[in-house]
Structure 1
């Protein structure tokens, strides 16, 4: 299997996407700057977003304003998000990274993208940052606080979110489900954080299971193993400090699983990592200090994958871009938000058919949590 085929297979997406399993070969090298398959960015549109030719944007929701004609007021500081199929349409869920009253909300769309409703799916939780979708249709919402929890929530509403303490108490960021090994990968937003996996006793039942931490050498590539975390409650000893040899990652952020590989990001060193779950090894997919010339992607944060096999990585700061990493190991800007330098891009997620990309600017033009904006981009995604 050549490198192009290998990367396309491993980032092809969740269960609805297809591709060949990882062959066990290491990544050839971290991605390098190059030309985007969509061409250069054009002038900013009326929403202040620069896009390639053929793409357009619209505002879906603004913090403290009504979502469409639903009567529901959108939350402050929109953060991690995901899309779920719902009838003939879909639902986009979004976390709120607000202290004590964070939680998550949802917007429901019909088959043509019209907004049908918006509503709360989780309330009165603490700094809900990122999370992840499960194969059984729930949203895992993580608290980015010391000894934070993960909550399992229900995108269609009508059911209260459930605290899932078995997934560990630490500064949670993202989660990604691996249905092949029946585990959930978890990132930790600490300068000396770890990379975890949770093995439910019964797949799809997150009430009980085993929390493990990745153990490896000090290098950026090579074989790894997993060790059980003795006390997932993290008190009095933090989960990251309970296992000797646990590998440290500088500020874990986004996490995305696709067909044998879990891709995750670390903001402290602007890296995208690839964990090969078949061969049990890690490699670097991107490192801004190893690029030739100027690095297009900095402030590495949330990550998602497309049906066409590309990774989309959002920036917290940087140039306020979402960058694409292609199967050719090319990294390039896909879009740029202008006039919002005091914000960050959060929650990139594709609609189930892959034709629309949702994301938020957490603080919008004001630079305040009350200024968040959630967008949709449509166009000829490959």
Structure 2
């Protein structure tokens, strides 16, 4: 079912009280509006790959976990991903959300879309879930574990990965760079997780900087420094160090575009928008409707957002600038999986994503499948 969701501004709190996820939801309460069709039209029947798409779109399988692709074995449990320009071709990077070996891999495409080769860009890490691309063409791979780390990796495979200690030790999920304010936003996958930003001393160099947390400040929000970004195991963790910190129930995807940082929270099923200019946070989608199991998020320069579902009915939904929410892609017959790693090719004609557990649904993710969809996407 399609629906229109009106945007509603959410103030940061009353008397500097930090709202937990459920209270944020009560405050947000995005109102349902009139039904609206997808700008791409309705989904057709599933194709040979089990992918339901609008007319004019097609899919192909790029890689399967534990199978060879481009000269390497594709990793299990593919998760967060991004694309990078590479001459006339491009590269798709994907994390591996498995313990102990984790890491990330890359697939290099030629200009005609054929696969040139694939290779590892990070190994020996733990439950690499989401992350984010930087403007200087590196991939931030985030560990979704207690006191997890952020690793800056090279999608082109020329340099070794580097741990970015100053970006904090917590249950990292996603990252999004804001080149306008020269900060990196970070989400935290905890029931009382926070929304952070990292302020590097030098933009383009993440080796040194300050970790801050989003806090209540009357009718607006503000940032306060986290006193100890790298707490020991038995010390107070980052999300509990600042009393005024705002909390979100299960932070997931994160995407910056056109002066706004969008991020998702699975606990209350919301898509949030942080506006640095007005110092406000608002819910542009809040629970119910066509979106279920909100997770990874990406978008286009034109303002469209694409939100992937963890479970639900295995859809990727569009949220347009005028509030239309509608499915664009559906995976058939994989109800025990989740959709991960949504990312556009540099020319915006190809869209990549994975089914983390594929048709098998087993948690080890050895049945993971990575797809490409080609079609007339809106820019």
Q: TM-score, normalised by structure 2?
A: 0.89
The match for 1:55 is 57
How many pairs were matched up? Answer: 349
The match for 2:314 is 320
8 Å contact kept, 2:257–2:301: no
User: Equivalences for 1:1-382 in 2 at 5 Å?
Assistant: 34-67=36-69, 70-216=70-216, 223-235=220-232, 236-289=235-288, 295-368=289-362, 369-382=365-378
SS at match of 2:292: coil
SS at match of 1:85: strand
8 Å contact kept, 1:30–1:286: no
Q: Distance in 2 between matches of 1:62 and 1:360?
A: 9
SS at match of 1:36: coil
Q: Distance in 2 between matches of 1:193 and 1:213?
A: 10
Q: Distance in 2 between matches of 1:277 and 1:183?
A: 11
8 Å contact kept, 2:264–2:272: yes
For structure 2, list consecutive stretches of 5 or more residues without a partner in the other structure.
7-27
Change (3 A) 1:269 1:84: same
8 Å contact kept, 1:173–1:252: yes
Q: Distance in 1 between matches of 2:192 and 2:112?
A: 45
1:307 Cα deviation from its structure 2 partner = 3.9
Q: Distance in 2 between matches of 1:351 and 1:340?
A: 25
Change (3 A) 1:33 1:231: farther
Q: Distance in 1 between matches of 2:171 and 2:253?
A: 13
1:32 Cα deviation from its structure 2 partner = 6.9
The match for 2:24 is none
Change (3 A) 1:300 1:230: same
The match for 1:20 is none
1:308 Cα deviation from its structure 2 partner = 3.5
Deviations 1:266-311 (A, max 9, x none): 001100000001121111110124xxxxx10010000000244210
SS at match of 1:224: strand
1:234 Cα deviation from its structure 2 partner = 2.5
Q: Distance in 1 between matches of 2:95 and 2:184?
A: 19
SS at match of 2:366: helix
SS at match of 1:101: coil
Change (3 A) 1:186 1:48: same
SS at match of 2:166: helix
Deviations 1:70-108 (A, max 9, x none): 221100000000000011111000000000100000000
The match for 1:12 is none
SS at match of 1:35: coil
The match for 1:9 is none
1:29 Cα deviation from its structure 2 partner = 6.4
For structure 1, list consecutive stretches of 5 or more residues without a partner in the other structure.
5-25, 290-294
SS at match of 1:240: helix
Q: CA RMSD in A?
A: 1.9
Q: Distance in 2 between matches of 1:279 and 1:260?
A: 11
Change (3 A) 1:316 1:156: same
SS at match of 1:166: helix
8 Å contact kept, 2:257–2:300: no
1:259 Cα deviation from its structure 2 partner = 1.8
Q: Distance in 2 between matches of 1:32 and 1:141?
A: 39
8 Å contact kept, 1:31–1:285: no
Q: Distance in 1 between matches of 2:277 and 2:31?
A: 19
SS at match of 1:198: strand
